Amino acid sequence: MAMIAFTFITVYCIANDGGFDSTINAGLKIPKGFVAIKAADNIGEARHIAISGNGIFYVKSLKAINGKGTFVLKDVDGSGKLTVVNSFDKQGGTGVAIKNGYLYTSSNNDVFRYKLNSSNEVINPNAPEKIIKGLINRGEHNSKSIVLDNDGNIYVNIGAYSNSCQEQDRVKWSKGMKPCPILDSAGGIWQFKADKLNQTYGDGIRYATGLRNIVGLDWNQQTNSLFVMQHGRDQLYQNWPEYFDEHDGAELPSECLYELHNGSNGGWPYIYYNHLLHKKMLAPEYGGDGKIEGGKEYQDPVIAFPGHLAPNALLFYTGNQFPEKYKNGAFIAFHGSWNRAPLPQAGYFVVFVPFKNGKPTGEWEIFANGFSGKEVVTSTRSAEHRPCGLAQSPDGSLYITDDSKGTIYKISYTGK
């Protein structure tokens, strides 16, 4: 019987292998009526992307290439293909944003701004103003993703340099520290002034805490509030096998979308979210066993996704090009997992979450799939492309960056 089941699964996998045709829609599987192209290739390890109102693309590379960490691209001939027209910024990093005549970029330690001219070009690429400095960077979760509100503030993710605030990071059965000392300077979102130079911890406020690592975040113009996607903790199965089997470890904890306000607390490292039970659970490092619920005082997510998908970008769609259902809904770029092993990896797609009155309706769907080039990814490195950044162009097209091969995808709606 086991053999029959196994054969069935094998046949199913083989039958579905190669389900993505690389010659159609740049190898992506997208809804009917949409078209996808590769607008650019080999743009470093392309992390986040910002597009100006007149169509200038700023792409932040994880590593600086020949001393340049930000790339400027334009569609010079109207073909849809983007050409690199300039590069600057000495350091690599993740964050890039445009607001009120300035370009903002972040390294893994600092945040800079550059004044733009009336054509949205950087006036002096060699002389950035350092607005925030000295943020904690211990390697783990060091992306300083950024977003700005409409009141002159900039929000910066400072990820926790730990998996679950154990006495010994990632060590089997190591207990959690209580209180977790990391939360003083990391594991949250800090708010700073967008126009003040040389700020550091004392100049900003810890806007929200208990958030392990936020790479994808966006300001929702409809609700005028900050939304963030958390990367949930790893290794429930590997470090606590007496409470979690490999299926639990792959599926949990949930990847959570939170709406944040000043003082919000997501509860990391004390709790994790279980989207199958719709409950906050006590983390095993703090006495949990997969069944005991966690503190009620922590914020609930507005929607939660299966574990380890690695949400690296969040974008509220405000354009008019896509059909009505997409308006004010959220796109999320899932970079793809590693901690679902020994089971197959998942993610490597862009999800759409419909919103109504500033809240998710509860449904979600895979909008663009096939970035990995494989039906089943068994090893993270084997994924060909990994979606990492999202931006909307002035005409309402959706752009997706890939930090594996440096591809930039453009998805447009034609209705055909």
Closest C-alpha among 397, 402, 412, 276 to residue 348: 402
Which of these, 238, 396, 407, lies nearest to 318 by C-alpha position? 396
Show the 3-state SS of 42-73. CCCCEEEEEECCCCCEEEEEEEEECCEEEEEE
Q: Does 378 bind other proteins (CB under 8 A)?
A: yes
For residue 377, give the 3-state DSSP assignment: strand
Q: Which is nearer to other proteins, 81 or 138 (CB)?
A: 138
- Nearest to other proteins of 178, 247 (CB atom): 247
Per CB under 8 A, the list member of 7, 11, 12, 200 interacting with other proteins is 12
CB atoms inside a 10 Å sphere around CB 295: 13
Backbone angles phi, psi at 184, to 5 degrees: -65, -35
The verdict on 168 binding other proteins (CB under 8 A) reads: yes
**Torsions phi, psi for 372 (to 5 deg):** -70, -20
Binder among 77, 151, 324, 363 for other proteins (CB under 8 A):
363
- When the beta carbons of 51 and 333 are compared against other proteins, the nearer one is 333
Shortest distance, position 16 Cβ to other proteins, whole Å? 9
Contacts of 98 by beta carbon, 8 Å cutoff, 6+ apart: 50, 51, 52, 58, 104, 116, 120
Candidates 70-78, 125-133, 175-183, 232-240; binding stretch for other proteins (CB under 8 A): 232-240
Residue 254 lies near other proteins (rule: CB under 8 A): no
Instruction: Give the residue with the Cβ less far from other proteins, 207 or 237.
Output: 237
Q: What radius of gyration, in Å, describes the C-alpha atoms of the chain?
A: 21
Peptide bond between residue 301 and the one before it cis (omega within 30 degrees of 0): no
Query: Which span sits near other proteins by CB under 8 A: 31-39, 81-89, 260-268, 373-381?
Result: 373-381
Q: Count residues binding other proteins (CB under 8 A).
A: 46
Binders in 62-81 for other proteins, by CB under 8 A = 62
Binding residues for other proteins restricted to 26-65, rule: CB under 8 A: 62
Residues between 123 and 142 that touch other proteins (CB under 8 A): 138-142
Nearer to other proteins, 41 or 297 (CB): 41
Question: Given candidates 110, 248, 255, 259, which one binds other proteins under the rule CB under 8 A?
Answer: 248
Chain residues 380-399 in contact with other proteins, contact rule CB under 8 A: 380-382
| Of residues 342-361, those binding other proteins (CB under 8 A) | 342-344, 346, 351
The phi-psi region of residue 360 (left if phi > 0; otherwise alpha if psi is between -120 and 50; otherwise beta) is beta
Helices (H), 240-343: 246-251
Which of positions 284-323 make contact with other proteins (CB under 8 A)? Answer: 306
**Using rule CB under 8 A, residue 340 touches other proteins:** yes
The overall longest dimension of the chain from CA atoms, in Å, is 70
Collapse the DSSP code of 131 into the 3-class scheme (helix H, G, I; strand E, B; otherwise coil) and give the result. strand
Nearer to other proteins, 91 or 153 (CB): 91
Shortest distance, position 305 Cβ to other proteins, whole Å: 9
Which residue in 89, 110, 218, 251 binds other proteins (CB under 8 A)?
Answer: 251
Name the minimum Å distance from CB 291 to other proteins: 15
**Which of 15, 171, 197, 292 is in the footprint of other proteins by CB under 8 A?**
171
263 binds other proteins, rule: CB under 8 A: no
Structure tokens at 26: 């740049």
- Cα 202 to Cα 328: distance, rounded to the nearest angstrom: 35
Please report, as residue ranges, which positions from 91 to 120 form the binding site for other proteins (by CB under 8 A).
none
For other proteins, the closer of residues 139 and 202 by Cβ is 139
Note whether 254 and 306 are within 8 A (CB): yes
Residue 366 in the binding site for other proteins (CB under 8 A): yes
Q: How far is the CB of 245 from other proteins (least distance, A)?
A: 9
Is residue 10 within the footprint of other proteins (CB under 8 A)?
no
User: Which contacts qualify for 321-328: CB closer than 8 Å, 24 or more apart?
Assistant: 321/395, 321/396, 321/397, 321/412, 321/413, 322/396, 322/398, 322/413, 323/33, 323/413, 325/354, 326/352, 326/354, 328/220, 328/222, 328/355, 328/358
Chain residues in the site for other proteins (CB under 8 A): 1-2, 5, 9, 12, 62, 138-142, 163, 168-172, 235, 237-238, 247-248, 250-251, 276, 306, 338-344, 346, 351, 363-366, 369, 378-382, 404
